[in-house]
Structure 1
């Protein structure tokens, strides 16, 4: 389903229900209009503009940094409505927690909404929840390993995960499972709000059931995971949300592709029971 929208307008949306995540993603190579990119830059705060345009990197990385900040502002603005009118994305203020995780400054807006962002060179995603913490990570499926997969796993992963990867004889399948685990683990440490330094990957294990669902071992109960294919199956996307207990209702993820102010497309609706 494609929804054409007028430039400078966004469609207001209700907050996700409990145990539901709305995932919005943008493909940088679909955004080619210089006038649109200029419009995006006008949404950013001055410190954000300074950060983007002073980056000592190539034009692609600068463009992606601009798109990432635009995606966050336009996504959060969709849910922060006033009399069913979208809040001006430029009015949003952000801060970071003690571990560096970005948050909306709730001195002005509704504290129920939480978000998280992740990006590769070819895809940028933002996840939104209400009342529960969220962490997301996206990875290109073609990502190459600079070193042997098992040597990396022994350095970063738990002994249980190393044992699991060691049991896979096919090197390509082993590489794919390594990336899946990395994506899921990254989503968890981001959802916890602590980041990699406070939650090293080798201090917890992600396991996969025979039914294909993922869960966290050796930590507090209640965390729920989903691993999705995005953008014609070119990327993995992992979502982790916090719940009160392991028996809480299943997780639901609604995915949209977007070019902010131009087009929104409902991709799919996944449910984990």
Structure 2
């Protein structure tokens, strides 16, 4: 998305930000950082503005507050709006893509990574620093260097999505909390408390989504997450990409995950 936005729309995005957010964006010295920060704020505001029961709200009028964990959430202004406790959002970005995840009822963590992300360190050495032995063993079993790199990025992306959700809930996170292969399937908290999705986007990025299960709803074990994926340029274009070749589900690794 960032590469497709010209200066005209950048100016339009500035107009939907309150003065304090404008000041924060314009205080960044590097142009690319300013652009990314502005796009992220515009994407969050224009996306969340759709979540009013009766009609869309003006993105500029949205107000945010910090919850008890210090994380931002929407402060709805009218009784007719969705209850702020029902809507959750999270944002992640790379140099070439920004992702905003929205859920109702369940907190969400989302992370996006470029498939061509450069890993300067030796993958296994790097994995030994942050991953548990089971994950290192899994990576070490992959002979092809490129396949190993891709599997590392997928696993890292999944871990980050859970880390962001844990951060939202002010929970402690350790890299070893997500395993590729659980030692004891009887203590599989993943199946009980969390759901994951791993997507390949346009052949260029991986996107991992982690949500806490809604215990008030009956869900069949292993049922897929109900996702809709949109390609969005704020104020310009919204195109549903779900069900197209641009959004592919990557299931193999998720089926082995445990927390």
Q: TM-score range by the shorter chain?
A: 0.7 to 0.9
Tell me the number of residue pairs that the alignment of Structure 1 and Structure 2 aligns. Answer: 235
Match of 2:4 in 1: 30
Pick aligned residue for 2:116 from 128, 137, 142: 142
In the TM superposition, residue 251 of structure 1 has moved relative to its aligned partner by 1.0
Say which SS state the counterpart of residue 226 (structure 2) adopts: strand
For the residues of structure 1 that align with 2:238 and 2:76, how far apart are their CA atoms?
27
Q: Work out which structure has the larger RCO, using CA pairs closer than 8 Å and 6 or more positions apart in sequence.
A: 1
Provide TM-score, normalisation by structure 1. 0.77
Residue segments in structure 1 that go unaligned for 5+ positions in a row = 1-26, 209-215
Partner of 1:75: 47
Q: Which has the higher strand share?
A: 1
- The answer as to 2:37 corresponding to 1:61 is no
Instruction: Could you tell me which runs of 5 or more consecutive residues in structure 2 were left unpaired when the two chains were aligned.
Output: none
Q: Does structure 1 conserve the Cα–Cα contact (< 8 Å) formed by 2:157 and 2:206?
A: yes
Q: How high is the TM-score relative to the length of structure 2?
A: 0.81
Alignment of 1:92 with 2:59, yes or no, is no
Instruction: Tell me the secondary structure at the aligned position of residue 252 of structure 1.
Output: coil
- Does structure 1 residue 229 correspond to structure 2 residue 197? no
What SS is found at the alignment partner of 1:121? coil
Q: CA deviation at 1:237?
A: 0.6
Question: 2:74 pairs with 104, 107, 127, which one?
Answer: 104
1: CA distance, partners of 2:28 / 2:171: 24
Specify whether residues 165 and 69 from structure 1 end up closer, same or farther in structure 2 by C-alpha distance, changes over 3 A only: same
Matched residue SS, 1:205: coil
Q: For 2:193 and 2:118, how far apart are their aligned partners in 1?
A: 33
- Aligned to 1:51, which of 12, 20, 24? 24
User: What displacement does 1:47 show?
Assistant: 2.3
- Contact 2:62–2:76 under 8 Å retained in 1: no
Contact 1:222 1:247 in 2 (8 A): no
RMSD of aligned alpha carbons: 2.7
Query: Is the deviation greater in 260-269 or in 132-141?
Result: 260-269
